[in-house]
Amino acid sequence: MSDKINLKIDNIAVSIKSGATILEAAKKVNIRIPTLCYHEDLCVAGNCRVCVVEQVGSDRLLPACAMPVNEGMEINTNSMKVRNARKQIVELLVSEHRADCTRCYKNGKCELQELSSEYIVGENGFIDLVAHKGYTIDNFSPSIIKDDSKCIRCQRCVRTCDQLQSISALTVAHKGEHMKVSSFFDKPMFEVVCTNCGQCVNRCPTGALTEKTYLDEVWSALNSDTKHTVVQTAPAVRIALGEALGMPPGEIVTGKMVSALRRLGFNSVLDTDFTADLTIIEEGNELLQRLKKVVKEKDDSVKLPLTTSCSPGWVKFIEHAFPELLPNVSTAKSPQQMFGALVKTFYAKKIEVKPENIVSVSIMPCTAKKYEADRPEMRSSGFKDVDYVLTTRELALMIKQAGIDFASLPDDEYDSIMGESSGAAVIFGATGGVMEAALRTAYEVVTGREVPFDGLNILPVRGMENIRAVSIKIENVLPEWDFLEGVELKTCVAHGLSNAKQVMEAVRDGKADYHFIEIMACPGGCLGGGGQPIPTSPAIRKKRSEAIYNEDELKPIRKSHENPEVIHLYEEFLKEPLGEVSHQLLHTHYTERNRY
Amino acid sequence: MAEVKQLVKGLADQHGRTMESLLPILQGIVHQEQHISEDAMVEVARELNISAAQVYGTATFYSFLHTKPLGKYVIRVCKTITCMMHGKNQVIKELESVLKINLGETTHDGKFTLLETNCLGQCHKGPAMLINDEPYTELTPEKVREIIMKYKHQEISAN
Ligand code: SF4
Ligand code: SF4
Ligand code: SF4
Ligand code: FES
Ligand code: FES
């Protein structure tokens, strides 16, 4: 192509498309330039300056992440001048940083620490300013800890919350030496519009934003003689956990994960996928009920479109941003909370353990799940339905602490009663997955036939396109559903709250006539969740997504309504979808929240 | 609350509802209310369809956009280098002792607030300060004491 630019980096010739940055050009020839504020998912900020390089013939140092390449450029990434500048920049950052690495949650996983070690930031740098800074730590939220003494003001979090999530719960406040990353009036994170999605946590290069960890609580439950510990694992954990334990992205580690959980000492190792299937039954029926009321009975008190409710970041978002649309949100609880409610009722009875002696733990790709488990509504068993939520990263840490060599573990199977799942449940972990799972079931309920897609793979709802609208024509219905004959079922899938916001604005303004909308707060869906291994990038999300759809293909059962344990649960306990027991245990309500 | 809503709505009607309208709206609020309250910021965020934190971020960037209630007389002492070298620290010390407050505080009677600000453009006559919109230059501790006393007397005779 003619619009290629030719340049030299450290005397190596590179040819790259015009508009590319020096950083991208260097990457192409396998030269690593350090970065801090730069992140693949975000716009360039160019504020940290650790990526500086030298252009031959110029005295100014250039930020490689922000500088486009020019024809004939000669760049040195490793001159004395560059090295000195980088070292000083890191030293300056450290001089304002409470660098107590040995006590820091990010120890060993911190980008600033890595750079400090690479550039040997010694004792004789700049004066330590930490004592004069009056930093504060906000650890009031059940999900996220914000420690200003660890913040290097790279603003990855601010850009994440703005660009990916359209929330801007975090902003840059004050100026000069007083400049800081702040919420509205510096209020605690749990009081403001923050959805706890953890996307900022996943991108923060330091220990300034981290998940609140419950490892100690879980270890003590595991070591207690009187407690029966139950663990559930979300769909997206099994395709990402390996990354945090030294494996390449896209590895399916379901069997090893089950083995590891047993080795850690969990008494029952069960699967959130089981209640993902259950969610499809409850939510699918809710959709059909609403369609019936709207299309057949012309009942205008019933709201369409119906939106999904399994992503707690999305739920908190709509509570803050579109309270008038809360009646559109499915009342079905998320799979995590359905699971929690059943563990201390149905399951407790089955295994003859008193619910007060059960400690229910969930492993989630998500930091918002911690907040969800803490909601006052989530105690329908009479106890806290889910006691502790751990992220994928925390589980990886537990496995390391226990000295388990993960890669060499044999595969194992989930326990029964609430451990069986279909492929439809696995794909909950990818954007579009809930929609696909719901369609596989709802279409069959209404027509008595399988969805008209090759191998049950509803490809149009898959992928990473921001917003995907797909309609499916319903034909030759069963007599009971005659009012749906010929109806074009209009669906929409959005991931990342920026995209969700766009869709919901259209719904609010009457510009969209969807019947059913799937929304996931995180880019890519749960597989790109805030609790997933760091880093997460577009390429890694793609790998995880492929793994999820492979796992679906490998499952003998592909449709939620064919999960034998779910069928059994209805026969023995719930009786019918949307029935009385379901209402009590599996459905919830929402709360309007403040605008800040 | 309803009043703030009205005020912000009026300002948005006047200045528009884009990002560029944010500063004029905030200035309008300060003009009316002296400081921008939490409620006012939330209303601005609502009108412009941005986050309340973004409004807060902008408001805290500018020295003249206050986010806390202030006294009747707002004293702003220039802290920039020329005034600093001409002895603004002594000026502030004197003000603190006359008013019996620290920098950043408001007197108990709600009359005086003592703040620092950036260059007032009076560098050639530093140290300089503003009391509300009134500039005072070539300050010395004695001069500062006199100025404050003048305001205090004015207040007493007004009552
Ligand atoms: S944030 Fe990083 S550099 Fe700072 S104390 Fe923690 S590990 Fe060390
Ligand atoms: S909190 Fe983390 S991501 Fe945000 S500015 Fe500070 S260091 Fe950067
Ligand atoms: S957790 Fe999500 S919503 Fe909250 S500040 Fe971070 S990115 Fe924004
Ligand atoms: S990474 Fe380039 S300026 Fe921060
Ligand atoms: S430095 Fe004080 S007025 Fe300019």
Amino acid at A519: I
- Cβ of A171 within 8 Å of Cβ of B41? The answer is no
Is residue A130 within 8 Å of A96, Cβ to Cβ? yes
Pair B100, B38 in one domain: no
- Residue among A555, A519, A527 nearest A543 (CA): A527
Q: What's the total number of domains in chain B? A: 2
Per-residue confidence at B2, pLDDT binned at 50, 70, 90? Answer: confident
| Chain A neighbors of B40, CB-CB under 8 A | none
Residue B14 inside a domain? The answer is yes
Residue B125 inside a domain? The answer is yes
Distances (CA, A) of A493 to A307, A449, A467: 10, 24, 6
Q: Given its phi and psi angles, is residue A579 left (phi above 0), alpha (psi -120 to 50 degrees) or beta?
A: beta
With 0-12 CB in 10 A as exposed, 13-18 as middle and 19+ as buried, what is B104?
exposed
| Residue from A259, A330, A362, A545 carrying the catalytic annotation | A330
Pair B154, B79 in one domain: yes
* Domains identified in chain A and CATH numbers: 4-78 (3.10.20.740), 104-110+126-211 (3.30.70.20), 215-274+336-408 (3.40.50.1780), 281-331+428-585 (3.40.950.10)
With 0-12 CB in 10 A as exposed, 13-18 as middle and 19+ as buried, what is A56?
exposed
Pair B103, B132 in one domain: yes
Pair B38, B100 in one domain: no
Q: Is B5 on the interface with A (CB under 8 A)?
A: no
Residue B20 inside a domain? The answer is yes
Q: Given its phi and psi angles, is residue B66 left (phi above 0), alpha (psi -120 to 50 degrees) or beta?
A: beta
Is residue A460 within 8 Å of A481, Cβ to Cβ? no
Pair B98, B29 in one domain: no
Pair B81, B128 in one domain: yes
**Tens digits of residue pLDDT in A228-275:** 999 999 999 999 999 999 999 999 999 999 999 999 999 999 999 999
Q: Is B41 on the interface with A (CB under 8 A)?
A: yes
Ligand 1 atom showing the smallest separation from residue A97 Cα: 4
Residue B130 inside a domain? The answer is yes
pLDDT of residue A431: 98
CA distance linking residue A503 with residue A506, whole number of Å: 5
Is residue A472 within 8 Å of A460, Cβ to Cβ? no
pLDDT of residue B64: 84
Residue B64 inside a domain? The answer is no
Give the domain-ending residue among B59, B83, B106: B59
**What is the b/e burial string over A288-304, where b = at least 16 CB atoms within 10 angstroms of the residue's CB?**
bebbbbbeeeeeeeebb
pLDDT of residue A123: 77
Q: Is B7 on the interface with A (CB under 8 A)?
A: no
Q: Is A132 on the interface with B (CB under 8 A)?
A: no
Q: What is the CATH number of the domain that holds B108?
A: 3.40.30.10
Pair B10, B34 in one domain: yes
Pair B43, B96 in one domain: no
Could you tell me if the CB of B84 is within 6 A of ligand 5?
no
- Residue among A576, A584, A273 nearest A434 (CA): A273
**Tens digits of residue pLDDT in B63-118:** 889 998 889 999 999 999 999 999 999 999 999 999 999 999 999 999 999 999 98
Distance (Å) from the C-alpha of residue A497 to the closest C-alpha of chain B? 14
Find the domain containing B42 and state its range: 2-59
* A538 φ/ψ angles, rounded to the nearest 5 degrees: -55, -45
Give the tokens for residue A177: 């030496």
User: What DSSP state is assigned to residue A207?
Assistant: T
DSSP letter for each residue of A269-315: EEEHHHHHHHHHHHHHHHHHHHHIIIIIS--TTS-SSEE----HHHH
Pair B54, B79 in one domain: no
- Residue among A247, A269, A249 nearest A257 (CA): A269
pLDDT in tens, chain A (596 residues): 458 999 999 999 999 999 999 999 999 999 999 999 999 999 999 999 999 999 999 989 999 999 999 999 999 999 999 999 999 999 999 999 999 999 999 999 999 999 999 998 877 778 888 988 889 999 999 999 999 999 999 999 999 999 999 999 999 999 988 999 999 999 999 999 999 999 999 999 999 999 999 999 999 999 999 999 999 999 999 999 999 999 999 999 999 999 999 999 999 999 999 999 999 999 999 999 999 999 999 998 999 999 999 999 999 999 999 999 999 999 999 999 999 999 999 999 999 999 999 999 999 999 999 999 999 999 999 999 999 999 999 999 999 999 999 999 999 999 999 999 999 999 999 999 999 999 999 999 999 999 999 999 999 999 999 999 999 999 999 999 999 999 999 999 999 999 999 999 999 999 999 999 999 999 999 999 999 999 999 999 999 999 999 999 999 999 999 999 999 999 999 999 999 999 999 999 999 999 99
**Tens digits of residue pLDDT in A505-534:** 999 999 999 999 999 999 999 999 999 999
| Residue from A151, A204, A310, A366 carrying the catalytic annotation | A310
Give the domain-ending residue among B33, B59, B85: B59
With 0-12 CB in 10 A as exposed, 13-18 as middle and 19+ as buried, what is A241?
buried
Other beta carbons within 10 Å of A17 = 12
Pair B102, B47 in one domain: no
**Tens digits of residue pLDDT in A183-210:** 999 999 999 999 999 999 999 999 999 9
As for ligand 4, residues whose beta carbon falls within 6 Å of it are: A 35-38, 46-51, 63, 65-66
| Chain B neighbors of A193, CB-CB under 8 A | 51-53
- Residue among A185, A201, A519, A497 nearest A321 (CA): A497
pLDDT of residue A2: 58
User: What DSSP state is assigned to residue A193?
Assistant: S
Distance (Å) from the C-alpha of residue A186 to the closest C-alpha of chain B? 9
Give the rounded percent of residues in chain A with a pLDDT score beyond 70. Answer: 100
Question: Does residue A330 carry a catalytic annotation?
Answer: yes
Q: Which helix (H) or strand (E) holds A7?
A: strand A4-9
Is residue A479 within 8 Å of A457, Cβ to Cβ? no
Average pLDDT of chain B to the nearest whole number = 93
Give the rounded percent of residues in chain A with a pLDDT score beyond 90. Answer: 96
Residue B141 inside a domain? The answer is yes
Residue B68 inside a domain? The answer is no
Pair B102, B140 in one domain: yes
pLDDT of residue A125: 76
ipTM: 0.92
Is residue A228 within 8 Å of A359, Cβ to Cβ? yes
**What is the b/e burial string over A442-461, where b = at least 16 CB atoms within 10 angstroms of the residue's CB?**
bbbbbbeeebebeebbbebb
Pair B51, B114 in one domain: no
Residue B46 inside a domain? The answer is yes
pLDDT(B120) > 70: yes
Strands laid side by side in the A516-520 sheet: A306-307, A516-520, A488-495, A467-473
